[in-house]
Amino acid sequence: MKTFKSYADVPEAPLADVPSSEEKTSGWRSNRPVVDLKNCTKCYLCWKYCPDVAIAINGEGWPEVKYDYCKGCGICAEECARDCIVMEKEV
Amino acid sequence: MMMTKVVMTGNYAQSYAAKLARAQVVAAYPITPQTSIVEKIAEFVAKGQFDTQYIKVESEHSAMQACISEAALGSRTYTATSSQGLLLMHELLFWAAGQRAPVVMGVVNRAVAPPWTIWTDHTDSMAQRDTGWIQYYCESNQEVLDTVLQAYHVAESTDVLLPAMVMEDAFFLSHTVEAVDVPPQEKVDGFIPPKRSPWILELGKEKKLGSFMMPDVYMEFRYNVARGMMAARKRVLEADEEFERRFGRNHGGLLPEYKCDDADVVLMTIGTASCTAREVIDEMRREGKKVGLARMRVFRPFPQDEVQRLASHVRALGVLDRSWGFGFSGPLYTEVAGAAYQGRHKPLMKDYVTGIGGRDITPPVLRGIFTDLLGLKEGAQETDWVGLRRPEKEVLRNA
């Protein structure tokens, strides 16, 4: 990480070289969504409602949680019409 | 020099200026009395006279965001608003300044609800004092057009990189026509050539704008905004001088004065009340009264040196506030008194609050203020709401 000795070293605009994809937020999570695809109909409600783009659709069209970014808010579990997602305590 | 005079409103002066500045993006959302600015721009675009990305947005909040995002890609941007619209933008005004986006915005000063009103006062823009925007106040339609051009000149200076708002009083300028000289396009192009911002986002380079900052560096970012605003003081003066060299007229820099050199008392005004005040000063000068006027053309950056210089040689300094800071004083008075306090000589001062919500500031009103100032004594009351309808008992006590 860069260190700044004076205001003169600070870039003019708050513009970071590191994109936000480099900022992993899995440590924020106390509950993790666990998906059971048995009853999944690929309706993608979970994908649509995830406020952090932390649900991806894999090559076969199944939803997949990106655990590096998921903060464990539980919205996907709440919205899933077939109750395929349960929130489990992180250990 | 080829001159074209067009009879136009202050609002159209904004539209013409945005077109002359070749703003690449215009974000448009209607609000009385601003609407005719963006309507005229829409007309320019429809007729093929103005090549710009005209974005119709769903709110003023979005209008400002559109400008900030486009500025981040290096575009020259323009938008305009009024009153409630400006208040809705408030959060994003900080974003524009903090992100060093040199957006230029027309603001038609309209009083704030409730009660609903559309007439002028300065509450809307005074409430934006600390957002980091350069703030110009105009007194004629010509000044509106010229100042929008000057605003780009200042805002895009690499040592400034801050947004600027150009104010005009609702209806007194926004909907009143005057002959305005529209400078030729090639001369405007010479005055404000397109500039490349030093930090814009570019395709193929991963960056993140508006990043999260920890306490070890946030303070330095804010200090850099302060430095940009300090640099703007010099740039405003330079832009006005450069404008005069190229176009043959200036607008008096930060704090234009009228008959102040030998004045006993001076009144400080903002906006269109200044024109009326000059008429009254001429009358009173013929009667041998030494009165003068200083017009706050630029409120941010604040003309601290100019105010102190003025305060050093007048007996009394009156401030006309067309808005009110609940709980203390008018915002202009606070600032002027603060600057004067740091000077060597402190004149007697008084805050005259008037013209609120579009109430006329007529020659008799101003004559009354000057007469009061001429007779001002140590220990006199510091504030008066001039023209306020009061209970009869109170009128007698004040008299």
Count of the separate structural domains present in chain A: 1
| The pLDDT value given to residue A76 | 98
CB contact under 8 A, B100 and A16: no
Same domain, B30 and B166: yes
Taking only the tens of pLDDT, chain B with its 399 residues reads 567 999 999 999 999 999 999 999 999 999 999 999 999 999 999 999 999 999 999 999 999 999 999 999 999 999 999 999 999 999 999 999 999 999 999 999 999 999 999 999 999 999 999 999 999 999 999 999 999 999 999 999 999 999 999 999 999 999 999 999 999 999 999 999 987 777 778 888 888 887 778 898 899 999 999 999 999 999 999 999 999 999 999 999 999 999 999 999 999 999 999 999 999 999 999 999 999 999 999 999 999 999 999 999 999 999 999 999 999 999 999 999 999 998 888 999 999 999 999 999 999 999 999 999 999 999 988 999 999 999 987 766 554
Same domain, B9 and B98: yes
Domain boundary among B188, B220, B247: B247
Whole-number Å distance between alpha carbons of A85 and A62: 13
Which residue, among A1, A3, A5, A7, would best test binding to B if mutated, counting the most B CBs under 10 Å from its CB? A7
Same domain, B196 and B313: no
Tokens 């300044």 found at: B97
CB contact under 8 A, A14 and B223: no
Helix (H, G, I), strand (E, B) or coil at B373: helix
Domain boundary among B217, B247, B277: B247
CB contact under 8 A, A10 and B220: yes
Does residue B143 lie in a domain region?
yes
Whole-number Å distance between alpha carbons of B239 and B247: 12
* CATH number, domain with residue B336: 3.40.50.920
Same domain, B212 and B90: yes
The residue type at B393: K
CB contact under 8 A, B209 and A12: no
Which positions in chain B touch A19 (Cβ < 8 Å)? 206-208
Contacts of B183 (CB under 8 A, 6+ apart): B3, B20, B247
Does residue A18 lie in a domain region?
no
Per-residue model confidence as pLDDT tens digits over A70-86: 999 999 999 999 999 99
Which positions in chain A touch B161 (Cβ < 8 Å)? 12-13
- Structure tokens belonging to residue B148: 């929008």
Which positions in chain B touch A16 (Cβ < 8 Å)? 207-208, 211
CB contact under 8 A, A19 and B206: yes
Does residue A17 lie in a domain region?
no
Tokens 């950056």 found at: B301
For B182, the domain range is 5-247
Secondary structure (DSSP) of B72-110: HTT--EEEEEEHHHHHHHHHHHHHHHHTT---EEEEEE-
Whole-number Å distance between alpha carbons of B333 and B126: 12
Per-residue model confidence as pLDDT tens digits over A14-70: 888 887 788 899 999 999 999 999 999 999 999 999 998 999 999 999 999 999 999
For A42, the domain range is 24-89
Which residue, among B103, B219, B221, would best test binding to A if mutated, counting the most A CBs under 10 Å from its CB? B221
Same domain, B137 and B106: yes
CB contact under 8 A, B209 and A13: yes
Same domain, B262 and B241: no
Does residue B332 lie in a domain region?
yes
Same domain, B150 and B83: yes
CB contact under 8 A, A10 and B221: yes
| The pLDDT value given to residue B399 | 46
Secondary structure (DSSP) of B245-290: HHHS----SSS-EES-TT-SEEEEE-TTHHHHHHHHHHHHHHTT--
Whole-number Å distance between alpha carbons of B346 and A86: 72
CB contact under 8 A, A16 and B227: no
| The pLDDT value given to residue B211 | 76
Helix or strand holding residue B222 (H, E)? helix B215-247
Whole-number Å distance between alpha carbons of A36 and B11: 61
* CATH number, domain with residue B206: 3.40.50.970
Which positions in chain B touch A13 (Cβ < 8 Å)? 99-100, 161, 199, 209
Chain B residues interacting with chain A (CB cutoff of 8 angstroms):
98-100, 161, 198-199, 201, 206-211, 213, 216-217, 220-221, 223-224, 227
Whole-number Å distance between alpha carbons of B16 and B12: 6
* CATH number, domain with residue A77: 3.30.70.20
Count of the separate structural domains present in chain B: 2
CB contact under 8 A, A14 and B99: yes
CB contact under 8 A, B100 and A12: yes
Instruction: Please name the residues between 42 and 81 in chain A that touch chain B, using a CB distance below 8 Å.
Output: none
Same domain, B238 and B140: yes
- ipTM tops the 0.85 cut: no
Helix (H, G, I), strand (E, B) or coil at B64: helix
Same domain, B190 and B269: no
| The pLDDT value given to residue A3 | 73
Same domain, B305 and B212: no
Does residue B279 lie in a domain region?
yes
| The pLDDT value given to residue B395 | 66
| The pLDDT value given to residue A21 | 82
Which positions in chain A touch B224 (Cβ < 8 Å)? 7, 10, 12
Does residue B43 lie in a domain region?
yes
Instruction: Please name the residues between 7 and 26 in chain A that touch chain B, using a CB distance below 8 Å.
Output: 7, 10-20
SS (H, E, C) chain A: CCCCCCHHHCCCCCEECCCHHHCCCHHHCCEEEEECHHHCCCCCHHHHHCCCCCEEECCCCCEEECCCCCCCCCHHHHHCCCCCEEEEECC
Nearest to A15 among B161, B199, B227 (CB): B199
Same domain, B303 and B282: yes
Domain boundary among B203, B224, B247: B247
Does residue B311 lie in a domain region?
yes
The residue type at B295: R
Whole-number Å distance between alpha carbons of A55 and A49: 9
Does residue A42 lie in a domain region?
yes
Does residue B392 lie in a domain region?
no
Same domain, B64 and B116: yes
CB contact under 8 A, A7 and B161: no
